[in-house]
Amino acid sequence: VKKHERRPGERAGLGRDAVLAAAQALSAEAGIDGLSMRRVADRLGVAPNALYSYFADKAALLDALLDWLLVGIELPPADQDWRGGLAALMAATRRHLLAHPHLITLYLSRPGRGPNAIHLGEVMLSLLARAGVTGPPAVEALRILLIYTFGFAAHEAPRRGDPDPAARTAGSEAAFRGASGDPRMQALAGPLAQHADDVTFATGLRWLLAGIAGR
Amino acid sequence: VKKHERRPGERAGLGRDAVLAAAQALSAEAGIDGLSMRRVADRLGVAPNALYSYFADKAALLDALLDWLLVGIELPPADQDWRGGLAALMAATRRHLLAHPHLITLYLSRPGRGPNAIHLGEVMLSLLARAGVTGPPAVEALRILLIYTFGFAAHEAPRRGDPDPAARTAGSEAAFRGASGDPRMQALAGPLAQHADDVTFATGLRWLLAGIAGR
DNA sequence: ACCTGAACACCGTTCAAGT
DNA sequence: ACCTGAACACCGTTCAAGT
């Protein structure tokens, strides 16, 4: 909001990472609809068009942001069997995505060819190879697992901490879960729903892994 | 673009359906990013704010549009077994969604409580009941199947007829599939990819149905 | 009830210019 | 190379007014 007080000609010293960090922080506060180039620039104390020194356009910034959010997904221990390893990896991926509920939606509509997305795919392929699944069938299994994991996270994201849209449907959600009225029930609704989500996610994942094992 | 030549005070006679039809046609031509209230109004020969007589805001229009697109999904024959029926229904749903590739993304991020979405869920529940799956486990299975189906369609949509974004990544897609250069290979890439998608979708679906059967 | 005119507060992006 | 000023062509939405 407030420019950082620089003399004319003085550099702000942004860099791509600073822009991405600002964009992520902004989306956490204002949601996906509040994520604009101008507001990111504002947050950095910089003119709107300054961002175009680092990203060709808004789409390029979003692509970079999504890949940036995949950094640091917990990898399963190397001595685990392929099935437990894949289950742990997909669960960790879902948890990681849910840390940024506002941005999950974007993943489904974008290619996902960033370096971190590719690395995740490679780890999955090495686990599948240990199951004896390689080549085209491995790519097929990988795709199914990724769609399930990202789709699941995208589907439960609106129920999570999305600031504005959540408020819109919060009432019907509570009613749907029979938790309207009693505030103690409402306090339980969140954790209860999350637990149900965890169980449901694990169930579908188990079915898919059983299918992969049966190849 | 051109107003329909009405005298001042004369009605345009829009109605919700006319607005939805215009919105759908516009998104087919201009993609999701080209779908604006002003352009929908323009297409109807009406002032931008006239739409607010029928929809509270753009989000309400989008919600109605998504449910409207679920109309007419092919239902499986009543004498089919539950497994074949569910497989056919989910395949028909995916095909139906892919007829509007530009809008699929929106489904994942929105609740989906419209009348048509609810009807689809009821048909699924009745098929699951024939498999002996009812109550909470049925809701769990339904959710997993829907996430898989919608997620899959959302994931392959960008490869389909999305006008602008497709052009952006068309080159890398062709290279990825090893179809760069030779125009005969490029002509094959589309149908080939679609066939691979069909097979992959059916495979994952079979795995999930096997899991449901094993309950 | 349905629609228009005019306005408000925003967008993404480009171009020329400054250091 | 990095950043600013100013401008362009857009947005969604609201308010008052007309029929």
Using the Cβ of B121 and the Cβ atoms of chain A, whether some distance falls under 8 Å is answered with no
Using the Cβ of B215 and the Cβ atoms of chain A, whether some distance falls under 8 Å is answered with no
Residues 34-73 of A with CB under 7 A from strand C: 34-39, 48-49, 52, 57-59
CB < 8 Å to B166, chain A:
none
Instruction: Name the closest nucleotide to A44, judged by C1' and CA.
Output: D3
Which structure tokens are listed for B63? 């919600």
| 8 Å CB contact of A154 and B108 | yes
Which structure tokens are listed for B35? 């779908």
State the Cα–Cα distance between residues A4 and A22, nearest whole angstrom.
15
Residue B117 CA neighbour count, 13 Å, CB half:
18
| 8 Å CB contact of A108 and B111 | no
Using the Cβ of B72 and the Cβ atoms of chain A, whether some distance falls under 8 Å is answered with no
Considering only CA atoms, which of B112, B100, B121, B127 is closest in space to residue B32? B100
Protein residue at shortest CA distance from C1' of D18: B9
Protein residue at shortest CA distance from C1' of C1: B53
At residue B111 the predicted structure's pLDDT band, cuts being 50, 70 and 90, is confident
* Partner residue opposite B207 with nearest CB, options A154, A155, A207: A207
pLDDT in tens, chain A (215 residues): 344 567 777 788 899 999 999 999 999 999 999 999 999 999 999 999 999 999 999 999 999 999 999 999 999 999 999 999 999 999 999 999 999 999 998 998 787 889 999 999 999 999 999 999 999 999 999 999 999 999 999 999 988 765 544 334 433 333 333 344 455 556 666 787 888 999 999 999 999 999 999 98
CB < 8 Å to A158, chain B:
109-111
Which structure tokens are listed for B84? 């074949």
Model-level pTM?
0.89
Using the Cβ of B200 and the Cβ atoms of chain A, whether some distance falls under 8 Å is answered with yes
pLDDT digits (tens, 9 = 90+) for B176-208: 333 444 555 566 677 888 889 999 999 999 999
The amino acid that residue A69 corresponds to is L
State the Cα–Cα distance between residues B102 and B97, nearest whole angstrom.
10
Quick one: which H or E segment has residue B119? helix B115-130
| 8 Å CB contact of A140 and B200 | yes
* Partner residue opposite B108 with nearest CB, options A105, A148, A199: A105
SS (H, E, C) A92-133: HHHHHHHCCHHHHHHHHHCCCCCHHHHHHHHHHHHHHHHCCC
The amino acid that residue B98 corresponds to is L
Instruction: Name the closest nucleotide to A46, judged by C1' and CA.
Output: D3
The amino acid that residue B148 corresponds to is Y
State the Cα–Cα distance between residues B20 and B35, nearest whole angstrom.
11
CA of A167 to C1' of C15 (A): 42
What distance in Å separates residue A8's CA from the closest CA in chain B? 37
Identify the three-state secondary structure at position B59: helix
Instruction: Name the closest nucleotide to B47, judged by C1' and CA.
Output: C4
| End-to-end Cα distance, chain B | 57
Structure-token match 């240990």, residue found:
A130
CB < 8 Å to A86, chain B:
none
Considering only CA atoms, which of A64, A155, A57, A192 is closest in space to residue A117? A64
Considering only CA atoms, which of B208, B198, B204 is closest in space to residue A144? B204
User: What is the pLDDT of chain B when averaged over all its residues?
Assistant: 87
CA of A48 to C1' of D6 (A): 12
The amino acid that residue B71 corresponds to is V
pLDDT digits (tens, 9 = 90+) for B139-160: 999 999 999 999 999 999 988 7
Using the Cβ of A190 and the Cβ atoms of chain B, whether some distance falls under 8 Å is answered with no
